[in-house]
Amino acid sequence: MDFSSPSPPMGSGQSPEALMEQVQAQLQQAYAEELIETLRGKCFDKCVTKPGSSLSSGESSCVSRCVDRYIEAMGIISRSLFSQQR
């Protein structure tokens, strides 16, 4: 997670709501970075056997399908977890 952006220290007059929004934004950023890294690791490594200056049509299709399946699976898992919590 990137903590390079300046943020006021706790107790510096920032409202609890503003602090919560800042934390949520940082968590969303961290989740997006983790998702991209996971997809790169799983899909690129699986589909691109000979890296070059561009992707072949087969590699491009493979990466696209892999990303679609991963996002679909994450959606199913998320819905399942949220429905169990209710």
Record the tokens describing residue 19, joined without a space: 């602090």
Global pTM exceeds 0.75: no
Secondary structure of 6-45 as H, E, C letters? CCCCCCCCCCHHHHHHHHHHHHHHHHHHHHHHHHHHHHHH
Give the confidence band of 24 by pLDDT, cuts at 50, 70, 90.
Answer: very high
**For residue 33, what are the contacts with CB-CB under 8 A and spacing of at least 6?**
1, 2
The pLDDT score that the predictor gives to residue 8 is: 53
The pLDDT score that the predictor gives to residue 2 is: 52
The pLDDT score that the predictor gives to residue 5 is: 55
- % pLDDT > 70, the chain: 85
- pLDDT score of 33 more than 90: yes
Which domains does the chain show, CATH number per domain?
16-82 (1.10.287.810)
The pLDDT score that the predictor gives to residue 6 is: 55
